[in-house]
Structure 1
Amino acid sequence: MQAGHLLSVGATLGEGPAWIDGALWFVDIKQDTIFRFDPATKDLRKWQAPDHVGWILPSANTGLIASLKTGPCRFLPDTGAFEPIAQVQPDLPDNRLNDAGIDGQGRIWFGTMDNLEQSETGRIFLLDKGTVMPTNLAPVAITNGPAISPDGTRLYHVDTLGRKVIRYMISAEGTPDAGDLFLQFSGDEGHPDGAICDAEGGVWIGFFGGSAARRFSPEGALTHEVNFPVSNVTKIALGGTDGHTAFATTARQGLSDEECARQPLAGDIFTFRVEVPASPERRANT
């Protein structure tokens, strides 16, 4: 399958796509920008954040929940205001928040990472009703996902530099077990990046440097591969009017001038259709 080009934005590091209330939201982490795109009207809006913004997710309360470099915040699109919720790892100024997912109870599982992409200082945290709590997941340099299965029992944590995905069983109280290796990649596929689960528990992963997004069954078998005309595929979101449309963010980061010239669509938004639809919408309880 080949992804189609949808929207020109030329993001340095496009990330965090989410289908929220009939529109695609996403961010450019390195340009500190939040975007909202309505595929029906082609309307594109954007907001400048005060710092690196890693993701934006729907809330059951006022506004949206977004991540700034130092912690989660409430984002109010009508005014463009960012209201801090908590600080995370204030003792590690080179770290930033990176990727996130919502479980069935409205808790946000999110990760941090070394912004220099070297030190294993990235950890997974849990945001539950406005309170941030650490988890027992092992530290890595670049956290991605976590993706949570539709039934809320499994969490998939992507160790990007380790080129692997660890699967954890999580209790109703939000406690992960010791985890087991779900996927290990050789490096030929690129680096596994953002991850989500679809309605059947399949795991979609974007591959940075791999020119592809791939879906794996709950048992870890490759079921679908979608090719892109750009190298750095960061993450997909499932949505659209029927939940069967995938939207993918991409990045120009790490490409040389020559590679950018060969990939003029790098950093843009792409789309393709999927057989299995999105999981039912989840909203943060914060």
Structure 2
Amino acid sequence: MTALRALCILGPTGSGKTEAALCLAERLPVTVINFDSRQLYADFPVITAQPEAHEQAACPHRLYGFLPTAESMTAARFAELAREEIARCLAEKRVPVLVGGTGLYVRALERGLADIPPVPQEVRAWVLSRMDAEGPNALHADLAQSDPETASRLHPNDTQRIARALEVLLGTGRTLSEWIREQKSTEPGVMLRKIGVSATLGELEPRLNLRIGNMLERGALNELREAWLRTPDRSAPGYSGIGCAELLAHVLGETDLDEARRLWFRNTRAYAKRQLTWFAKEGGVRWVRNEGFSRLHELAEGWEGHP
């Protein structure tokens, strides 16, 4: 089976990846394919910074805003969906351009997934009972002791992934990060030409603060309230994302809006820092800064997947 090919624009949150993709679309027949785990959710287009309507009108956009709040997304399922979209793009003689910041999704596409043995149901039940009793922050602290590599890329409110990492450790005797390093695939990985949008944490901080203010002005709080009316379940996976968790605490009367915004910025900054660390270790990335976006099309020249 011939390996699929795609361009991939990666980088930390707030660095300008959507802008980069649209610059590329001015020169090439691009279809943008999302690989941000939070931008999959239908209820939170503003909070998760999904491309706005005028941006999505510039070229086809796939895998944005389709997942219900109550559903989770695994890296395996994402890889399957993304492969389908990439194959569709190539069949249409378009350039598939993955855009996002979830590093594990890139790894799943390139290398396949770890062949982790099934975890006994009683182990999973015990972890979930602890999650209900003690909350995600306590379990995240445990994970930081036993598997710091995995803990460093997970938000302390990400109940689904924290629970998964702990149940893998307890059920197999090995950390999730160890399994990931031994990833295998039964089909060829996607060949990616990776373009990284470069920005320092100091450069990102004012952008992130401004973006949160813009999100609130665009109705982020009402977006969360409406989602809660549809899915009044705090354990629903969609609420674990940064921004959603902090605004939900405000909607439920646990904090005022100023504190929710402060925590939203703090947690976004921490996430950007984790992304910078992750992508710094990513091999084969061609890094560009915002001022170099006009030349992005040059990185696609000679690429075998270019139609």
The structure carrying a bigger strand percent of its residues is: 1
The structure carrying a bigger helix percent of its residues is: 2
Is TM-score (shorter-chain normalized) higher than 0.5?
Answer: no
- Greater relative contact order structure (CA < 8 Å, 6+ sep): 2
| TM tier relative to shorter chain | 0.3 to 0.5
Give the TM-score, by structure 1 length: 0.33
